[in-house]
Amino acid sequence: MIKKVLRLCSVLATMAMVSMPCDVYAYTIQDAINGAKRNNATIKSARESVKGAEAQRMGAYASFFPKVSATNTNSLTSLADDSLKQASVRSTGANRHHQRSRGLHVEQNFFAGGGSVFAVNQATYNLRGTKAAFVSQKQEVVLAAMKAYEALLTNRELYDVYEKNQEAFNKHLKEAEERFNLGEATVTDVAEARSKFAEATSNKAQVSGNIMGAEADFEYVVGEKAPQDIEQIDVHGVYIPASLEELTEVVLKQNLGISQKASTIEAARSAKRSAYSALSPTVTGAIDVRRTDVKPSESNATTYTLQLSIPLLAQGGAEYAQIKKAKHAENQAKFDLEGERGKAIAGAIKAWSDYHTSQAMISASAEAVKATESALKGAVEEAKVGTRTIFEVLTAETNALNAKVGYRKAVQANTLAVFQMHQMMGTINNIFSKSLSKI
């Protein structure tokens, strides 16, 4: 008997474990960010640009190293003239000449007006700018992934709202038709209810199309299929500057677009100095070691050369044009930096304004949702006793719908404003890090 009880308890425990609900993993905004960083083609392309800039800087150092070349020449000369053949036989014992020459040439550039140094500096600043551009593009992709995620989330929630709204208007339409059959409603009431139901159906279809577009955009940016179960984005606790002045200060200090333009100025300045170096004299040293074998004799020679070259019109005047071009490029880079700063400040101000405007809209919309829901319930109850018309109930239903849609769009605008603010500050990659509160 005891064994049967124990066996029964074991079976019940096993069934309980099998039927126990397991945790289902929900896709998060961080998953979308990680997927975009891992899969996005723009990021991969920008990473290759950084590797190219690194290779370019390595190539700039090559001018500091000597040039080394080796030669090995073999020649065989047959004499066709009989008299020459006889003379050659008497002198060398053969009527053919075999000559072998081997050489090693080493050349070192000692001075070139500083052009090598400036070329390295230019390549270094180009690399810095390319790295800043890479991080900036990565942040742009992260922002796009966040927007795609939020758009997907918003449209799916709006679909649920419009679906419930369609069901509600369908119910109102049936009630209007029933009351019409009983003589308690007019043709106008039925037509108005049918119009609202058709509008709700249209809204639902439109949001359904928006969802398809959002899913396609998500897959393009993130590189993964849009998941069905995604979590809400929680921006509570995310670092927000205390004032607009603090925001602009951080933007001017950390914005990657500004950093990139600043590096471009330094690279252009180095390019200008490199162009000027073409007018300077150059000093080059060389060693040439050569051994020549002409049977039955051989000879060895070592030549040392120190060359000073003073350019007068070495490139036909093209060097002066290059200097002028480099000056214009430097001035253009300065204007680009000035424009980038203005663009960053304008973007920061807009993000700040959007954030606080959406904050106010969220509060107002939340109150509107409560008020319209209460008004709708009252209108439905009063319509049952004949103190409210069908038109008034339909209007209350529409007002409740608009309030819900307005609230969700206000939440979306607030979330996107937070994202945009961090993108301008150059901190969007670590937006959810608690350490950002120490900026």
Q: How confident is the model at residue 4 (pLDDT cuts 50, 70, 90)?
A: low
The token pair that represents 23 in the structure block? 């945790």
pLDDT digits (tens, 9 = 90+) for 320-366: 888 899 999 999 999 999 999 999 999 999 999 999 999 999 999 99
- Residue 247 C-alpha from the chain's centroid: 22
pLDDT digits (tens, 9 = 90+) for 34-90: 999 999 999 899 999 999 999 999 988 888 889 999 998 887 766 555 555 555 545
**Which phi and psi (to 5°) does residue 96 adopt?**
-130, 150
Average pLDDT over residues 85-113: 71
Average pLDDT over residues 127-145: 90
Output the pLDDT for position 314.
67
pLDDT digits (tens, 9 = 90+) for 260-314: 899 999 999 998 988 888 888 889 999 999 988 876 677 888 999 898 888 877 6
348 vs 89: CA distance, rounded Å: 93
Output the pLDDT for position 241.
93
CB–CB of 177/142 below 8 Å?
Answer: no
> What is the b/e burial string over 95-123, where b = at least 16 CB atoms within 10 angstroms of the residue's CB?
beeeeeeebebeeebeebbebbbbbbbbb
355 vs 3: CA distance, rounded Å: 68
Output the pLDDT for position 21.
44
351 vs 358: CA distance, rounded Å: 10
Structural domains in the chain, sorted by start: 26-67+114-279+318-438 (1.20.1600.10)
Average pLDDT over residues 384-412: 91
- From the DSSP assignment, how many helices (H) and strands (E) are in the chain? 10, 4
227 vs 266: CA distance, rounded Å: 46
pLDDT digits (tens, 9 = 90+) for 180-194: 898 888 899 899 999
Average pLDDT over residues 19-48: 81
Asked if pLDDT for residue 439 goes beyond 60, the answer is: no
* Average pLDDT of every residue of the chain: 85
Cis geometry, peptide bond prior to residue 296 (ω within 30 degrees of 0): yes
395 vs 149: CA distance, rounded Å: 33
Q: How confident is the model at residue 18 (pLDDT cuts 50, 70, 90)?
A: very low
User: Bridge partners of 67?
Assistant: 107
- Which range of 10-24, 111-125, 406-420 scores highest in mean pLDDT? It is 406-420
What DSSP assignment string belongs to 62-108? GGGSPEEEEEEEEEEEE--SHHHHHHHHHHHSSSEEEEEEEEEEEEE
CB–CB of 149/32 below 8 Å?
Answer: yes
CB–CB of 23/117 below 8 Å?
Answer: no
Q: How confident is the model at residue 247 (pLDDT cuts 50, 70, 90)?
A: very high
Share of the chain above pLDDT 70, in %: 87
Output the pLDDT for position 82.
56
Output the pLDDT for position 249.
94
**Which phi and psi (to 5°) does residue 288 adopt?**
-125, 115
